[in-house]
């Protein structure tokens, strides 16, 4: 059985403002760093073999804080688990999107990456982890949309929709190709 602990990065200033971050490289704010310290403390009492992260700064900062607490350096950075490319809406709030493109902005081609594209690249990373680290416990720091899409596609009977809190922990297991979710969006450390 391979175990993957999916962690959404800590909060950023753009998260607090309700702005679409996508691939814009935004750092953690002070609250985000505190959140990362809290999950790092929680995870220091658990058994994990390695930690990987999206290459975006907010995820790397979260993974670094967790790794320092565990005396475990980041094993790998992977662009395939970066956040959804939000195209033209990056850096805008819901209100700004409605003003600029109308209330049906989601139905327009604004250069956003599709759910299928996000799932395919994320799954390539997950499949590789399962193949290369069979039987290991791997922490993976990523992003809300990426984690949510993976859950909806891997376990469609369980997850029709998802919301991921900052620094929440979701634990997936893979036993002989069968996926199970042992813990979802847990934030008891906060």
Q: Give the tens place of pLDDT for each residue, 69-101.
A: 989 999 999 999 999 999 999 999 999 999 999
Give the relative orientation of helices 144-154 and 115-132 as an angle to the nearest 10 degrees: 80
Instruction: Give me the residue label for tokens 């900062």.
Output: 61
pLDDT grade for 160, boundaries at 50, 70 and 90: confident
Tell whether 3 is in a known binding site.
Answer: no
- The structural domains of the chain, ordered by start, are 2-186 (3.40.50.1240)
pTM, to two decimals = 0.95
| The pair of three-digit structure tokens given for residue 61, joined into one six-digit string | 């900062």
Asked whether the predicted pLDDT for residue 161 surpasses 90, the reply is no
Tens digits of residue pLDDT in 167-185: 999 999 999 999 999 999 9
Instruction: Give the Cα separation of 97 and 120 in Å (integer).
Output: 27
What does pLDDT average to over the chain? Answer: 96
Q: Would you name the residues annotated as active-site residues?
A: 9, 83
What span, in angstroms and rounded, lies between the C-alpha atoms of 69 and 38?
10
Strands (DSSP E) found in the chain: 2-8, 50-53, 76-77, 137-142, 169-175, 178-186
In this predicted model, what pLDDT tens digit does every residue of 29-39 receive, in sequence order? 999 999 999 99
- The answer to whether 14 is a known ligand-binding residue is yes
């Amino acid at each position: 059985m391979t175990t993957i602990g999916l962690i959404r990065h800590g909060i950023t200033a753009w998260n607090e403002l309700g702005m679409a971050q996508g691939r814009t490289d935004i750092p953690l704010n002070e609250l985000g760093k505190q959140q990362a310290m809290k999950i790092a403390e929680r995870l220091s009492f658990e058994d994990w073999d390695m930690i990987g992260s999206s290459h975006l700064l907010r995820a790397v900062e979260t993974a670094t804080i967790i790794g320092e607490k565990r005396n475990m350096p980041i094993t790998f950075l992977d662009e395939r688990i970066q956040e959804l490319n939000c195209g033209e809406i990056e850096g805008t709030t819901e209100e700004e999107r409605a003003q600029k493109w109308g209330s049906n902005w989601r139905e327009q081609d604004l250069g956003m990456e599709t759910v299928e594209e996000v799932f395919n690249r994320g799954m390539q990373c997950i499949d590789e982890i399962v193949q290369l680290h069979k039987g290991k416990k791997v922490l993976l720091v990523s992003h809300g949309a990426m984690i949510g899409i993976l859950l909806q596609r891997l376990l469609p009977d369980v997850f029709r929709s998802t919301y991921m809190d900052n620094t929440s922990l979701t634990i997936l297991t893979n036993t002989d190709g069968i996926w199970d979710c042992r813990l979802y969006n847990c934030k008891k450390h906060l």
